[in-house]
Structures are given as structure tokens and as C-alpha cells.
A and B are shown apart, each in its own frame.
Chain A
Amino acid sequence: MTTPNYDAIVIGAGHNGLTAAATLARKGKSVCVIEKNATAGGMARNTTFANGIQAPEIAHLLYNLHPKVKKELGLGSVRAPLEVRDLPAVSLSEDGNHAVIRNGKAELADGRPHPETAPFGELMRRLTLFAGLLGQLSTKSPPSLEDGLASLDKLTELAGLAKLGLDLKRMGKKDMREFLRVLLSNAYDLILDDLEDGPLAGALAADAVRGAFAGPRSPGTVFSLMYRLGQGGGAQLPLGGMGAVAAAFETAARAAGAEIRTGTGVARVLTENDRAAGVVLEDGTEISARAVLSNTGPMPAMILAGAEHYDVEAVRRMRNQRCKGTAAKVNLVLNSAPKFKGLSPELTAGRLLIASSATYVERAFNPAKYGEMPENPVIEAVIPSLSEPGLAKDAQHVLSAVVSSVPYALEGGWDEAARESLAAVTIATLEKYAPGIGALVSDCQVLSPACIEARTGAPGGHWHHAEMGIDQILTVRPANGMAHYRFGPEGYYLCGAGAHPGGDVTGLAGRNSALQLLKDGVI
């Protein structure tokens, strides 16, 4: 047998793939990342419009980048420069009484205190406390009881769970009881227990379900809200656009010694004697390796290796994974800065939310259930060029909008007309808060969940590669018996958002996967 070309091959240079590669390379392993697209970064790339205008193609903000990943990869250091700016969230109201959330505190757009400052503060205190508690589980493979207590590894895993239990008790009886009460419930009830059903409640409800095939009344949305609040709930705008984030991850991976090949995708994963042995590229090139990590969704990863290498039950679980994406992306090039009713320029540069109430968010999800286009969608918009004028020229600006509750499987399919209609819905919705914005639009890019799937391979175009439902998280992510990143043949690992802990630009799935692989002694 010839010597393998690499210790490990990573399929897909999304941020998790790059994190996995960097983590392995930092341990002295030879790693090659294979990216189908011409550039690395996956969902965290920039797109360029005419006139050289830069806009975040898909993802546009950092919510959840994990400090461990940041530190280990040196993101934001000399090694991999990255500058970010904290943005306040502005939940828009048609009457101009916008709610602003800054550093976890509520206020009004005109600077007056929000009447619900106190209950909101208390709710956020509890939720971030709980989120921090659950966050303990995110930096390791989730604990499993599969083989009993026989091995030291299992005991170590359970120690993590035991610590969670201990910390839970340490919160005090009142908070512990509340945690257990709300954990599996729905965000709608939780939020409206404490808040009036207005823009402030709407903002939390929207954050709870962004990217999910769920409305705030769906069970399990308290968990997804806590997930979103994992790093405190703020949002950061990367300077240079989301592409700068991709570039930082790429730089970190290269600095650690990983090789990155772009432009040709992987056609299949090679196995020998039930062991991952390398990959065959789309152009027929074979590259051998002792381990293969896939940053694709779980089902595509399985197809790459061949379903015949998986037990029937595993295939069935993958076939039945829930991964209907609901987040579409609309990028609008504007001829001048838009004016939102009652917003200062500083707040206009913030994270703008159209989610006037929790009920609005729930209703917005209704059409998606039936494969219909939303009429009044929830939108998260940001105008990066206001914070960073260099991104655009000639007084032009880019409005980047994540439009929620847009069905992946639109009735009639996603054709040009459907995309135009989504753009029209988006502009009409923005028009209610920024009259005249439609007239400013000079160019427009619409990415439906189906387009996002085509561009990135994310199953269903799903934000998290797989729904973050209670049936698909922790020890059952991506599925029962697969939570340790090991994926079928020995030496084949999942390292993307479809694995624990889930999506967002956290870097954790990639990092945890690489660490598990090293712990397993595969390379």
C-alpha cells in the first residue's frame, strides 16, 4: 500500500470545515480541504455587484462565534485578522415606536427607556443563564449511554453531564424549576408570559425561529432561542462583510498548515475494508488519506460514501431527517441611504428586525407550512455599507435581508418569477417602515432556500443543515447513534452544522469533530 497523500481530507471549505482542518493541522496533521466552489467560506462569503459593490452573499452577521474557536484559531489576532462591530437590534414598529435591544437591554428608538425594560431584562437574564448552562454541552461530543458505564471515556463524558446537573442545582431552586419547565416548551408562551405582544416580544420570537421550519408556537423553540443566545444574544457585523469571516477562517487554516483546493468538488468518498481511504474528485483525481471529514449535510455525506456502507436504520434516519430550509436571502443595491421612520442614522446601521409581534412571527410561518410564499414575512436586515462606507461607491448602499418563513419546496417551484415575487414581497414589507425604499433599488439578488442548497450543498438550504428540533439535537444529532461525529466507515467523520451542536458560525462542529477524531486515534 502506498503512503496516503494526507492524514485527513476535509470535504467543504465552509467555516466548520476550515475549523476542523485548522484544529487537525495545529496538531501536526497534514490536511487538505476540498472545496467545490471557486472560493472558500460556504455560507459566509461576500458577493460582488456591478460597480464593485460588496455584499454578504448569504449569512450577514455573527451571532455565536465561540470564544474557544476564536482563541484556538487566532481569529481577530495577527494570525487571522478579523474586526467586528457590535450592532444594536432594532425591532421596527409601524407607528415609529421601535424597540431597541442594546447589550441585552431594552430601550426605545428615541432614547427613552422602554416600558418593559425590567421584565425584558429579567427574561434575558434567565434565558442567557440557561443558555450558558446548555452551552457547556456544546464544546464536546454530546454524552451517550450507549455502552453503559464500562469505559473511562464514557465516564468522562458523563462527568460533563453530571457537572450540568450540578450547575443546574447551583442556580437555585427557582431558576432550576423554571429551566426544567420551559426547556421543551414554545417561545411564544414563554415570551408572552412576561412581555406585551409588541416589537420587543416579536424580536425574541423571530430570533427563536430564524432559519427553522417552525413558528414561535412550535414546541422546542425555547431551546432554539437559548441556542441563539449562546454567546449573549448580540449580533456582530464583521468589517469587510461576511467574506472577511470566511477569509479569517481560511487564513487561520492555512497558517496552521492546512492546504485548501478550490474549484473541484468531491465525487465520492473512497473506502477500503470499512475504512475511509480518501476521495475521488469530480475530475477523477484520487486523493488518499487516513481520515475523511465531511462538512456537507449528513445525507449528502452518506451519499458520498455510498448508502451500502451504512446500516439500514441509519439510512432510514438520514432519509427522514428534517431539513426544510426557510431562510431566503435578498440583497438589494440602493442608490442612496434609505430612511426608516423614526430611526437615527446610528440605529439604521443596526440589525433591523421586521417582527412587530410574536403573533406576527407565528402568522408569517403559516404560508411556509403549505409551500406558499409569505405575504408578511419576518425580515432581518442590515446595511453594512452604513457602518463601513468602503463597501460601496457613489453613495450607493447594500441592504442585506434574511427573509424568514420562505419555503424550500415552494408550490410551483423556484423559478425566476418566484424569485421576483419574493423580491417584491421583501421590498413591499420594507416599504412599510422605510417609505420610498423601493424606488432606491437599482439591483437585486434573491437566493431562495433552493438556491442556497444549490450553492452550498446545505440540505434543504437549511441554515443549520438540519432542523434544530428536540429530536435532532444533542445525543440525537444528526441521528440516534451518530452523535460522536463518527459516520459509518471508520475514519469518516461529520464536521458540519448537521452534527452537534448545530448551525450558526460557531466553529464548534468542526472543532469538536476534529478533536473526536484525534481522541479516537484514527490518525
Chain B
Amino acid sequence: MTKHVPIGLIETPFQPRLEALSTAKSWTNWAGYVSPAMLDTVEFEYFAIRNQCTLFDISPMHKYRITGPDALKVVNRLVTRDAAKLRDGRVGYVLWCDEEGMVIDDGTLFRFSETDFRLCCQEPMYTWLLDTAWGFNAEITDESQDIAALSLQGPTSFSLLQDAGLQVVAEMKPFDWREIEPDLWVSRTGFTGDLGYELWVPNGKALELWDRLWAAGGHWGLKAIGFEALNICRIEAGFIAAGFDFQPVHTAMRLGRGRSPLELGFGKMVDFTKGHFNGRRALLKQQEAGLRYHLRKIDIGGFKPADGALIYHKKKKEVGHVTSGVWSPTTKRNIALAEFKAPYGESITDDLWAEVYVNEEGQWDRRLVPVAIEEKPFFINSRARATPPRPF
């Protein structure tokens, strides 16, 4: 069914629509699929996310189904949080670790019932899930090639769904998850920190869904987008991304490149009381011995995006680096996620400086700009959580 394009990538079911919309012709490889880096310009797409609504094709995400009498046990063996506390019809952000407590990947866990879950993530995880389920009465199915999904994000997204005849989503709270029509599941989730939904259909119904949303979208400023614009939004929302803010440990070649959920700032997502889960003993040991790194949100002086910049203490000692950095157009701040070597970023948070190189019409200059640790996401808007969502 899948069609290969000359550059060796697979097309998602939405490619015919994306192809037609793309003026930038800027494609990227996402998990072996062809995916737009941008369709038009990053600026137009970014402001559409924050002020209108946007469609992003998330079909390349890996999707796995975990079913059977022991499904909950398998999930709880896999992830660090307690999936027993996740109610049916809810979605949870999850991380999972190797035996050393290093994060293999993060993703979203969709709970149909105690015996039926779907896990969505960036990295291929089939064999790991099979190994995790060994000895349990549960079945792992790779749905990656069967399920297509669209992420509809932005302040007008609810209004659009109403016009598309899907007004029943009004009652859905953030992280709710419903089958609102036969074969159409909707979750109130996203990667922008804003109001938004993700819509899941079998591949065969993908274009029908796209056309239905598109038809309702004109009035609401609907725009199809690529990864670049979304990436700005996710940094504004303070979300981490695999391969950027942490290296999925199974893909890291070098020793010591893995990071634990504690080091990534997800201590609250690790439930040591729920029984054994993968990496539990190593994480307890790490908690006792002390963390090696701290991933933090930071505000950087000036306006020059500081992606990859080294961070110094007292302008002398190198203590970390920026893992994701952008200029945030909405908050008008220079923001980033950064990794610090402990204890910097945790108990030592002052006198931190980022090293930024600027090119002023052919002349390079090196500047040290102040760094301030941020506790909260950079972009917060109450419309993201309001239920029912306010009409635009």
C-alpha cells in the first residue's frame, strides 16, 4: 500500500494533500516517512498555530497496541509512572527506561481499558515491547502502518471541529480520549501547549478526514504546517524532544549519553511505589547517589537564538549547553531548554552565561549573555485548558 518516493522515504496517507499545498518543497525524514519541514514559510505557519489553527501530519509516529489480560502489568513494567491511575479514555505522557534507568523514549499512552492500550512514540519500539511482554499474557501489535493521525492545534481548533460536525468534543477535557464517530478517535492532546486535538483514523479514511477538516477550515484560518514551526511552539511549551533534549539511549553509540527521567526533570513521573518497573533499581540508586545532570528551561539575554550554545558559570567554567533554543515570537523572549552538569542548574543557578556567536554582516562577534532559570513553561494560556473550550 505504501508508496516509496525517490529519496527512499515512505509517504503517509496524507501526502497527496501535503504535496499539493507545499510551496517550500522542504521535506524531511521522520522515522522513515517523508514529512514537511515547512510547507510555506516558518513564520506564517508559526503564527497560524498561535492565532488560528493548523494541521500537522503525525502519522509517522510509531503506534503500538498492547492488549490482553496482562496489558496493564506490561505497561506498568514498561513506563515509570503508574498506568493503573490512568482512567479509561484518558491519555498520559510517559517515559520508559533501560535497566540503567536511562530514557529509551517518551511518548503518549492511550488507555482504552485495563486490557487495551496504545503507545505512541518517536522511536521504533516493537522488539522492546515484545521483550517487555515476555512471560505475560499480553499481545503487542505494531499499528504504525495502519493508523493515520492529524494534529489540529490552535485557538480556533475547537470552533473548526464544531463546523466540521464534531461539536461533541466540547466536553472533552485535556488528555481525554474518545471514539466520537465509528473509526474516528479524538484526543485532546498536542505538542504546542495550546488548545488542540489529535484525530486518529485507519489509513483508508485519512484523506476523507483531511478533506472534512479542510472544508471547515477556511473561516478559521486553517493552515497545514511542517515541523519547524511546531518545534518553536513545543519549546515555548517547555516540551522535550527525543534526539534534541535527550538521546534515546538505544540509539546512543557512546557510553554515558543516556539521561534518566530524574535528570530530565520528570521526578514526578516516576512512581517508586507501584512495584517493579524497568530501571527502578537503577533510578533509586541514582536518586540516592545524586543526579549527574539537570535539564532546565532558561531565558537567555538578547534576541539571538542560542541553539547549541555552551553555558558558563562566572563566565569561566563550562557547566552545560543549550539543547533546544529559539526566539519565541509570542513571548518576545529568547528561550531555550538547556542541560547543566549537576549541581549547576539546580542548587547553583546564578551567574550563568550563554556563549553566543553573532555574524554582523560578515563580522563575527562572541558574546556572553545572561541566563536565568525558568520554572514555568514560557507559553501559558488558559484557553489551553478551558472546558468546554471558549469559542474563538
Chain A residues proximal to chain B, CB less than 8 Å: 274, 307-316, 319, 481, 489
Contact = CB atoms under 8 A, between A and B. Distances in A.
Contacts of A310: 276
Given A307-B135, A308-B276, A312-B131, A274 B77 contact: no
Contacts of A315: 131, 134-135
Contacts of A316: 131, 134
B99 interface: yes
Contacts of A309: 276
23 contacts: A274-B275, A274-B280, A307-B134, A308-B275, A308-B276, A309-B276, A310-B276, A311-B98, A311-B99, A311-B278, A311-B281, A312-B77, A312-B98, A312-B99, A312-B128, A312-B131, A312-B132, A312-B278, A314-B99, A316-B134, A319-B134, A481-B99, A489-B276
B62 interface: no
Given A274-B276, A274-B281, A313 B99 contact: yes
Contacts of A489: 276
Closest 8 CB pairs of A and B: A311-B99, A307-B135, A313-B99, A312-B131, A312-B132, A309-B276, A311-B278, A312-B278
B321 interface: no
A67 to B, nearest CB: 36
B296 interface: no
Given A274-B280, A315-B134, A308 B98 contact: no
Contacts of A312: 77, 98-99, 128, 131-132, 134, 278
Nearest to A306: B135
A308 B278 CA distance: 9
A319 B278 CA distance: 17
B279 interface: yes
A442 to B, nearest CB: 47
A310 B278 CA distance: 8
B234 interface: no
B81 interface: no
A314 B134 CA distance: 12
A151 to B, nearest CB: 11
B259 interface: no
B281 A313 contact: no
A307 B131 CA distance: 11
Nearest to B132: A312
B313 to A, nearest CB: 25
Contacts of B281: 274, 311
B274 to A, nearest CB: 11
A316 B99 CA distance: 11
Nearest to B133: A312
Nearest to B97: A311
A390 B26 CA distance: 91
B73 interface: yes
A436 B2 CA distance: 73
Contacts of A481: 99
B279 A311 contact: yes
Nearest to B127: A316
A278 to B, nearest CB: 18
A258 B43 CA distance: 77
A308 B73 contact: yes
Contacts of A313: 98-99
Nearest to A489: B276
A303 to B, nearest CB: 8
A287 B281 CA distance: 26
A319 B132 CA distance: 12
Contacts of B136: 307-308
A249 to B, nearest CB: 33
Contacts of B77: 308, 312
Interface in B269-286: 275-276, 278-281
A111 B251 CA distance: 66
A314 B275 CA distance: 17
Nearest to B70: A308
A24 B230 CA distance: 62
A319 B276 CA distance: 19
A476 to B, nearest CB: 15
A154 to B, nearest CB: 14
Given A311-B99, A316-B131, 9 more contacts: A274-B275, A274-B276, A274-B281, A308-B276, A311-B281, A312-B77, A312-B99, A315-B134, A481-B99
A315 B99 CA distance: 11
User: Most chain-B CB neighbours within 10 Å: which of A314, A315, A319?
Assistant: A315
A359 B349 CA distance: 71
Nearest to A317: B99
A316 B134 CA distance: 9
A436 to B, nearest CB: 54
A308 B99 contact: no
Interface in B132-160: 132, 134-136
Contacts of A308: 73, 77, 135-136, 275-276
User: Most chain-A CB neighbours within 10 Å: which of B77, B98, B275, B276?
Assistant: B276
A270 to B, nearest CB: 14
A310 B281 CA distance: 10
